[in-house]
């Protein structure tokens, strides 16, 4: 993930692809550090935003998993 000054947004770069992230998506990925669980990420977002739905965070990350942009470990 990096900030693209041309788009003035964070983007996720992949092989031959660019995913433009909205601010919430960038915040979610910014919290993914290899130590936090998906629940931990959602809890941290609740501190920043009034309304955070755990299922929406999970769905967002699941879409990125299917695109092979992130990995979620079971352990």
Tens-place pLDDT, residues 27-73? 999 999 999 999 999 999 999 888 888 889 999 999 999 988 888 88
Query: What letter would DSSP give residue 34?
Result: S
d(CA 43, CA 21): 20
Task: List for the chain the helix, strand, coil content (%; round to 5).
Answer: 45, 15, 40
pTM of the complete model: 0.86
- The residue extents of the domains of the chain are 2-67
Residues facing 17 on adjacent strands: 14
Radius of gyration of the chain (CA): 12
Do the beta carbons of residue 45 and residue 27 sit within 8 Å? Answer: yes
């Amino acid at each position: 993930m990096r900030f693209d000054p041309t788009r003035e947004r964070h983007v996720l770069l992949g092989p031959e692809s660019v995913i433009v992230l909205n601010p919430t998506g960038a915040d979610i990925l910014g919290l993914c550090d290899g130590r936090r669980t998906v629940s931990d990420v959602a809890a941290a977002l609740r501190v920043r935003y009034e309304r955070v739905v755990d299922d929406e965070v999970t769905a967002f990350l699941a879409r990125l998993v299917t695109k092979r942009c992130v990995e979620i470990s079971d352990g």
